C-alpha cells in the first residue's frame, strides 16, 4: 500500500498532522463551538426557496465578486457595531473565515515572510500559516490568557512579523482583548494585523469590537464568520472588514468564482433572517454565564469567557475526564494548555447533560 511518505510531497509537510477535531456521532456535541439551535421551519423554507431560485441558472458562474452579499454583510456589521460606517468595498467573503485567513496569508505572507500569534489560540492560524509557506512565530499569551501590550509590542519589535494574528474573543480561552492592546499592536506592527473575531457576537456588554479601529488603519483586518452566532456552520461563509485596498490585494489571490451561487443565496437569506438567527445569542450568553458559575461552584478553575465556550481545569489527566464524558454521550474538546478542557455552550438540556456527566466523571 502506498503511504504518504512514498509520495513526493513538499518537505515541509512531511510528518504534519491534519486538523483533527474528532467528528463523532454523539447525543450531546459540545466540541466545535457551533450554535446548537437549528434553523426554524420558516427559515428552512426560505432557504429552500432561495436555492430553488438560483438552481435554474447553475449552468452559469456566480457573481465573482459577491457584491450583493457583501452589501448585506456591510449592513449587518454597521448594525452590530454602530459607527463602523462600512461600505461593501470594505467587506470581502469566502468559504469560512478559514479561507479568508488563507487568502490573507497568500497575499501578505509566503516564503521568506513570518506571521506571529499568541498561543494558546486558534490552532488553524499556525497551520494555515505554515501551509502558505510562511514562518510561524508563537509569542505566547500571558499566564491569565490576556496579552500585556508592552510584551506584545516587544515581541513584534524583536521579530518584525509580516502578519500578526490577534483572536478576540480568543479560542480556546474565551478571553477578549481590550482595544488598547489591539491599538498597541497596530502601532508597533510593521505589517498586517488580523483580529479574528469569529465569536464577536457573543462578547459581553461593554466589550468593544476592533471594527471601531478600522478608520485610519489600512493595515487592520477584522475577520468574522457565519459559523458561530449566526448558526450557519454548514454554509461555510466567513468574511472580513478592512480598507478597500486590502480587498484589492485579496482579489489577486482568490480563485475565480470561489463562492458558489448556492452559498451566496443561502448566506443572503440567512442575513435577511439575522434577527431570528441571532435571537439565540442572549440565551447562549446566559447559559454560558450559568456554566461558568456552576463550574466555579464545583471548585474548578474557569477562564472568563466572551465567547460561546468555556475553558476550565485543571486536570492532571484531562484525557480521563474527556473520555468519561464521551462514555456518557457528551463530546467536548481536549484542546488548549495541558490540564484544561473546552466545552461549547449548548441548549439548556445539553448543559444539564454535561453537568450530570461531569459529576459522574471527576
Q: Which residues bind ligand PMP (CB under 6 A)?
A: 33, 96-98, 122, 167, 171, 196, 198, 225, 227, 233, 238
Nearer to ligand PMP, 23 or 57 (CB): 23
Nearer to ligand PMP, 47 or 222 (CB): 222
Nearer to ligand PMP, 1 or 24 (CB): 24
DSSP 84-137: ----GGGEEEESHHHHHHHHHHHHH--TT-EEEE-SSS-THHHHHHHHTT-EEE
The CA distance from 187 to 164, in Å, is: 12
Q: Counting Cβ atoms within 10 Å, is residue 131 exposed (0-12), middle (13-18) or buried (19+)?
A: middle
Q: Counting Cβ atoms within 10 Å, is residue 3 exposed (0-12), middle (13-18) or buried (19+)?
A: exposed
Q: Which residue is nearest to ligand PMP (CB)?
A: 96
Give the containing element (helix H, strand E) for 160. Answer: none
Please identify which residue in the block is written with the cell numbers 489560540.
121
Shortest Å distance, C-beta 362 to ligand PMP: 27
Shortest Å distance, C-beta 227 to ligand PMP: 3
Shortest Å distance, C-beta 211 to ligand PMP: 16
The C-alpha angle with vertex 132 and arms to 131 and 134, in degrees rounded to 5, equals: 100
**Beta strand ranges found along 226-339 (DSSP E):** 238-241, 301-302, 309-313, 330-331
Q: Which three cell numbers stand for residue 279?
A: 435571537
Shortest Å distance, C-beta 223 to ligand PMP: 7
Shortest Å distance, C-beta 5 to ligand PMP: 29
The CA distance from 355 to 188, in Å, is: 44
Shortest Å distance, C-beta 152 to ligand PMP: 18
Q: Which three cell numbers stand for residue 295?
A: 463550574
Please identify which residue in the block is written with the cell numbers 503511504.
3
Nearer to ligand PMP, 97 or 134 (CB): 97
Shortest Å distance, C-beta 233 to ligand PMP: 6
Chain-centroid distance, C-alpha 309: 12
Nearer to ligand PMP, 234 or 338 (CB): 234
Amino acid at each position: 500500500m502506498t503511504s504518504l511518505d512514498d509520495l513526493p510531497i513538499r518537505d515541509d509537510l512531511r510528518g504534519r498532522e491534519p486538523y483533527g477535531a474528532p467528528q463523532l456521532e454523539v447525543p450531546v456535541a459540545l466540541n466545535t463551538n457551533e450554535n446548537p439551535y437549528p434553523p426554524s421551519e420558516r427559515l428552512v423554507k426560505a432557504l429552500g426557496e432561495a436555492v430553488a431560485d438560483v438552481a435554474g441558472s447553475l449552468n452559469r458562474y456566480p457573481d465573482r465578486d459577491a457584491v450583493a452579499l457583501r452589501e448585506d454583510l456591510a449592513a449587518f456589521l454597521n448594525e452590530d457595531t454602530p459607527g463602523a460606517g462600512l461600505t461593501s468595498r470594505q467587506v470581502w467573503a469566502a468559504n469560512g473565515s478559514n479561507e479568508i485567513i488563507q487568502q490573507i496569508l497568500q497575499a501578505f505572507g509566503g516564503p521568506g515572510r513570518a506571521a506571529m500569534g499568541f498561543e494558546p489560540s486558534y490552532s488553524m492560524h499556525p497551520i494555515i500559516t505554515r501551509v502558505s509557506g510562511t514562518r510561524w512565530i508563537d509569542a505566547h499569551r500571558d499566564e491569565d490568557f490576556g496579552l500585556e501590550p508592552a510584551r506584545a509590542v516587544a515581541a513584534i519589535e524583536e521579530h518584525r512579523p509580516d502578519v500578526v494574528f490577534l483572536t478576540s474573543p480568543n479560542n480556546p480561552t474565551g478571553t477578549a482583548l481590550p482595544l488598547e492592546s489591539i491599538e498597541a499592536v497596530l502601532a508597533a506592527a510593521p505589517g498586517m494585523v488580523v483580529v479574528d473575531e469569529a465569536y464577536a457576537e457573543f462578547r459581553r456588554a461593554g466589550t468593544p469590537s476592533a471594527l471601531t479601529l478600522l478608520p485610519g488603519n489600512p493595515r487592520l483586518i477584522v475577520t468574522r464568520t457565519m459559523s458561530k452566532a449566526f448558526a450557519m456552520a454548514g454554509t461555510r461563509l466567513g468574511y472580513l472588514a478592512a480598507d478597500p485596498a486590502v480587498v484589492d490585494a485579496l482579489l489577486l489571490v482568490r480563485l475565480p468564482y470561489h463562492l458558489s451561487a448556492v452559498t451566496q443565496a443561502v448566506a443572503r437569506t440567512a442575513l435577511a433572517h439575522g434577527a431570528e438567527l441571532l435571537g439565540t445569542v442572549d440565551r447562549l450568553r446566559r447559559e454560558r454565564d450559568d456554566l461558568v458559575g456552576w463550574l466555579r461552584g464545583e471548585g474548578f478553575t474557569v477562564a472568563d469567557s466572551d465567547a460561546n465556550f468555556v475553558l476550565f481545569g485543571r486536570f492532571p489527566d484531562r484525557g480521563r475526564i474527556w473520555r468519561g464524558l464521551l462514555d456518557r454521550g457528551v463530546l467536548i474538546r481536549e484542546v488548549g494548555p495541558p490540564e484544561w478542557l473546552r466545552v461549547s455552550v449548548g441548549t439548556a438540556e445539553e448543559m444539564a447533560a454535561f453537568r450530570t456527566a461531569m459529576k459522574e466523571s471527576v
